[in-house]
Structure 1
Amino acid sequence: MILDQNSVTLFAEHLKSRGKQPATIESYCRDASGFVNYLRNHRLTVDQIEPGTLLAYQDHLRADLTERENSVRRTVIGIRQYFRFLTDKSLVKASPFDSVAIPQRDDRLRRGLEIEVIARLLEAASQSQPSWKGTRDAAIIALLAYEGIKANEIIALRWSDLMTDLATAYLHIGGSRARSIRLGPESHRLLAAYQRQYHTLNHPVLSQAKEKLMFISFKGRDASCPLPNMTRHGLKFIVYELGDKVGTKSLNTEQLRHFAVTHLIAQGMAPDDIMAHLGLRRLGNIAKHLASVDHARLANLV
């Protein structure tokens, strides 16, 4: 028997029934789906899968997809969960991967993005057409790079989560790390610009939507058919595409979140306040940023 995508669908339903967060379900199922495709491309049946198969797949990810070690590590964890599900449902006799060691976590702090890169990203985003897409993309970059909001948190934002007056703006972020944060002035300005453009859109898809999500997407090259929501994959593609435009290859949301830590430090925010702002429960990379901070470079971020 060769595994197919139907088993991934069952895996998703299983995770949902266990109350897993949508982002976790999407991540695990993406990992499982990628591995199923790998097995099919190599014509490997269930009986032929062995521990070495997962080790070979790890090498495939590192070589062909230029994945960072932590990404490979997360993928291995997702695949192991998938095979435990298959075992529990008697779709396979036993998981061949429980004996495979999970790759070590890479805790080295990568060199962060420069402020000039963020400026180029915002400029490239603002030039996107139509104009509502340009203001949307710029607002997304600001929330990632200046506020450190995660991709799955951004796509779940509703307009009712935004509280503003002339001088300040607060954003309520839901989910397992629910919190309310005060937006910086640039994030406030760019989000307000997008909000003005959003309210000019007059389309039944948006007006009839039960939930007014903040970030929408569209179909078609001319953006003639808006969609009332945005997927995590769609947001990450926007970031990747903008990075490509400004010469920062394979840009991802995690790099922008790391920049946000440096940015918030430069604004004089205390470590505990940064943790609360980002929805973190331990210092982690914040401490590394503080320990390795280049004060001359930091001064340029203020």
Structure 2
Amino acid sequence: MVDPISEYLTCLRIERGRSPRTIEAYGRDLADYASFLGRNRLGSVVDADRAALAAYEADLSERGFAPTLVKRRLSAIKGLYRYLVREEVIATSPADLIAVPKTPDRLPDVLSIAQVSALMERTDDSTPASLRDHALLEVLYGCGLRASEACGLNLADLALDEGYLRIRGKGDKERVAPISGAALRTLSMYLDDARRILDGGRGKSSGAVFLNVRGGRITRQSLHKIVARAGLSIGVTNLHPHTLRHSFATHLLEGGADLRAIQEMLGHSDISTTQIYTHVDRSHIREEYLAAHPRA
């Protein structure tokens, strides 16, 4: 192989359908590993042995990286070596005995139902851009979408009469997301008039649902700014689109929704990913108990 790291990243993109952001992150992780080997004259990625990997693991600790970053870097390295063994570039993986550190579960940030209501009520529908922002917030929370999924939503993905959206999620996997109530009403209002004004007949959007003021598809960066600005209106700093997704799942669970149904709506391939919301739900129950019980 001319460049094993590059070929591994290509495999992740084409064969496994990993997202561009994941590939970019793995690329940085593996480039850091290769740079460490070069600086310390420990050979190339292909030549490295268990001692070289142990030295890199110690270096990560010395540099004070967060456990989540260390875990991702070691996972990327283990994945690279599994690929090299599969392609018969090396006989055995020097990373087989590397233990990827466990990171403590961190409960996701969520808004209360009252905060979500305030967030939506503070929106201004007086301009096409502000109505688009309102529709974005409603769809992110009402359907539990990731930021990238909302940005990638196309007109052809909408089946509003039937009450669902077709979502293309991680790994290019498709799922169906129900839409109704406030999210459906606000999205319909936006599509009826505001989107046409933003498009201005320029046709730059290629059928995108959410447009910027120049008529093109809205970017993730712009979406993050819209959500953060909306958060400030209710006194929440650094509100993240994923917080609305977490709130969607948490509020569904608190309302009695089945965990498997929430898993399907979120597009999680593994139920264990969805189970973190059961911890959030238990936390909510404890808060209710402490607030209400006379001897708590």
Which range, TM-score by smaller chain?
0.5 to 0.7
Percent of aligned positions that are identical: 21
Q: 2:128, 2:74 → 1: CA distance?
A: 39
TM-score, length-normalised on structure 1?
Answer: 0.65
- Relative to 1, partners in 2 of residues 1:102 and 1:188: Cα closer, same or farther, differing over 3 Å? same
* Cα-Cα RMSD: 4.5
Q: CA deviation at 1:261?
A: 1.5
Q: 1:194 aligns with which of 175, 179, 190?
A: 190
- SS of the residue corresponding to residue 227 of structure 1 reads coil
**Do residues 256 (structure 1) and 244 (structure 2) align?**
yes
Q: 1:228 aligns with which of 199, 217, 220?
A: 217
**Do residues 13 (structure 1) and 10 (structure 2) align?**
yes
Q: CA deviation at 1:97?
A: 5.9
Instruction: Verify the 8 A CA contact 2:78 2:96 in the aligned structure 1.
Output: yes
- SS of the residue corresponding to residue 207 of structure 1 reads coil
1:294 alignment partner AA? I
Offset from partner CA, 1:190-218 (integer Å, 9 cap, x none): 322332311222446x5155x4122344x
**Do residues 214 (structure 1) and 209 (structure 2) align?**
yes
Q: What residue in structure 2 maps to residue 174 of structure 1?
A: 168
Structure with max Cα Rg: 2
Map 1:238-249; keep pairs closer than 5 Å. 238-240=226-228, 242-243=230-231, 247-249=235-237
Q: What residue in structure 2 maps to residue 157 of structure 1?
A: 153
- Relative to 1, partners in 2 of residues 1:250 and 1:159: Cα closer, same or farther, differing over 3 Å? same
Mark the runs of 5 or more structure 2 residues left unpaired by the alignment: 43-51, 290-296
Offset from partner CA, 1:234-256 (integer Å, 9 cap, x none): 54455456546755445434433
Mark the runs of 5 or more structure 1 residues left unpaired by the alignment: 1-5, 63-68, 218-222
Aligned residues, how many? Answer: 271
Q: CA deviation at 1:12?
A: 4.2
Map 1:255-294; keep pairs closer than 5 Å. 255-280=243-268, 281-282=270-271, 284-294=275-285
Q: 2:224, 2:77 → 1: CA distance?
A: 22
Q: What residue in structure 2 maps to residue 118 of structure 1?
A: 116
- Relative to 1, partners in 2 of residues 1:17 and 1:268: Cα closer, same or farther, differing over 3 Å? closer
- Relative to 1, partners in 2 of residues 1:32 and 1:79: Cα closer, same or farther, differing over 3 Å? farther
Q: 1:245, 1:53 → 2: CA distance?
A: 45
Instruction: Verify the 8 A CA contact 1:151 1:235 in the aligned structure 2.
Output: yes
